[in-house]
Structures are given as C-alpha cells and as structure tokens.
Amino acid sequence: MGAIPLISAAPWPVRAAAQWLGRETYHDLIMPIATPKQYAAMLDAAQNGDYAYPAVNITSITTINAALKAFADAKSDGIIQMSTGGGQFASGLNNNDAVLGCIVLAEAAHRLAERYDILVGLHTDHCQPEKAAGFLKPLIEATAKRRANGQGNLFQSHMLDASILPLEENMAISKEYLELCAENEIILEVEAGVVGGEEDGSAGTEDMPAEKLYTTPEDMLIVYESLNGIGRYMFAATFGNVHGAYKPGAVKLRPDILKQGQDAVTGKHGEAAKFDLVFHGGSGSEKHQIKETLEYGVIKMNIDTDTQYAFTRPIADHMMTNYEGVLKIDGEVGNKKVYDPRSYLKKAEQATADRLVEACNDLESTSKTIFGTV
C-alpha cells in the first residue's frame, strides 16, 4: 500500500498523539482499532497461542461501550461485529439502511476505542450472497475512500456467508469478494457447511439435513485450493454448531471435524495451509468443547445470543422491581430516576461486559493483548 500520508486531516486525538510522539503517519501510531498489520498479528498470536477472540455483535453505542469495557477489563484484544440487521437498527426506523448503520457504528467505535489500551478489530457478520453487492461492496468502498484520504481501514474484516449455495458457487463468489478485500488489506471470512438455527437472517435453519451441519475434509480442501494465494481469509467450518440458545447436550458438536479437515489440508499442502477457523453458534457451548476447538485452530468465536440475554436480563429486573416507578399508574407521576433510560442501560452495559469477560476467560484470550507490541 505504501506509506500513509501525513495525518493533518486526522481527528484531533490522533493528531495530538502524533505530535506528542513525534510521528507523522497512521502506520507509525499505536491505534486501538487495529491496522491491517496489527489485525493480522492478532490472528497470528491467537493461532500460535491456541486461544481465540470473542466476536460480539453490537447494535448501539451502549453495546460498543460494553464490548470495549470487557476487552479492557480482561486485558484481551477482541472483535466487534455488526450484522445487516444490526446496521438497519442502528440507522433508525426511518432509514432502515444496513450500510449507513454499520458505518455509523464503525465510526463511533473508532472514536470510543481511542481511550483504551487493547486492540480491536471491526467486522461485519453474516452477509448472504444476494445482499453482498448492496452491503459488502459499499462498505469495502468506504474503507477504500478512507485509505485514499490517508486514514486507516473502516473495517478490518467482513463475512460473506455463501454457505447456502453449492460449494462450487460458494467458492466462485468468495473468490470475487476476497479479491476486493485483499486490494484494501481487509480479511474475508467465508463459510462452508451450514450452521443450524437462525441468527439475524443467517442462512441456517433448524430443519437442515444433519449432514449439512458438518463440513467434510473434502470440502475443506476445496476451500483451501480455491482461495489460496488471493488474500488472507478466515474460515467458518461447521461441526454441528447451531445459532441461538439451547440446553447443554441438545446440540451434537463434533470438534473433531475441525481436526480432520485441518489434517487433510496440512497433510497435502503443509503446515502453512492451516486455517484460521471461526466458531459460529458458540452461545451455550460447553467449556470443554470450546477448549477443544482452540486446539484445532479456532481463533474467533461469535457470541451474540448470550450477550443479548446478558443485556436484557438486568433491564427486565429493573422494570419488574421498579414497576410503579417506570409506569405512571392510576394518575401518579412515576419516578424519573428509574424510567430514565440511563438507569437501566448502565446495568445492561455492565452485565454485557461481564458476560464478555467470561467469554475471554473461556477462549483463553484474557491478559494476552498485543497492544503496543506491533
């Protein structure tokens, strides 16, 4: 990409930091939102250290703050991600614009993260192929425009979920978007096999044939041989995982599927071919199974259902405990202190952060930030 221009047009906190440090370019600065080099180093560190990053879906300033608080409290780097549905919500009811909402959330995350001493990657979650031209391409273009202006990437990675298509068609469109991403030092996440359940419009369904829930070693070889050499990517292989909430034992996870696929690929193409794997449908998973996936190359685990519940649970408690205060009953005036949204959203932020710290512990990323070293 070459040197990034002088940062005279950068936001004030960045300019001030540059002046204080005597540095002139974005590449010379330590930025909480990871540069492409830092993001790659994050993934390498996780792969080499047998740990993974929680990737939490956010929809608002409050959920961004919860994620940043959790990663900072755990001294863990992490990934903040947005779905098309999350973007639509964030854009407001009158807009319902996934691209606008994701840009607004990403810009907010860039500014808020400036106060933290951990690294964060920004990512977009499941985007089906029929939505890609209207969602991924404008977001990739937004990063390209920032780069042309001497700014850092808006997003560090995107997910194209073409798993609903036959594998050959999946890889054809994945190659197209990987090329677009690689031009802008963006990492693409792809998926083969189908995650069960449903998550914010993702392709999986609860009645999916069982064999579709398990990516085969042959499939994993095809993915590697289709995408190798184009650019860096992450791979969501499926091993029985299901989106949404479920009781322990209800889902038949087979982490050994990941090992079999990795062995097939590295056996034919060498250790350098090892995948950076992504664990979808991780909410509710048993801790020993999470641990096993780390041994097989999982470096990112999506967490959404559990954090949604963590966010909502204290709000429900607040409303029920303060019922007569949050409602104006029988002509009374209520209690402004308890119907002020801040009174319960602070509790939601804290509870979400607490659940994410637990995820950092489960994924063994706690106290492993590489901030300041790359």
- Measured in residues, the chain has a length of 374
Phi-psi region of 166 (alpha: psi -120 to 50; beta: other; left: phi over 0): beta
E strand residue ranges, the chain: 53-57, 78-82, 120-124, 157-160, 187-192, 233-237, 277-279, 298-303
Token pair listed for 83: 């779905």
Phi-psi region for residue 22, left (φ > 0), alpha (ψ -120 to 50) or beta? Answer: left
The catalytic position among 125, 161, 304, 306 is: 125
* Identity of residue 304: D
Question: Using CB atoms within 10 A of its CB, is residue 338 exposed (0-12), middle (13-18) or buried (19+)?
Answer: middle
Rounded Cα gap, residues 201 and 223, in angstroms: 24
Two tokens at 74? 């755990």
Residue appearing with tokens 């002139």: 24
Which amino acid would we find at residue 341?
Answer: P
Helix (H) or strand (E) segment spanning residue 9:
none
Q: Is 125 considered catalytic here? A: yes
Beta bridge partners of 246: none
- Close Cβ partners of 267 (under 8 Å, ≥ 6 residues apart): none
Burial of 170 (0-12, 13-18, 19+ CB in 10 A): buried
**CA 72 from centroid of its chain's CA atoms:** 16
- Residues recognised as catalytic: 125
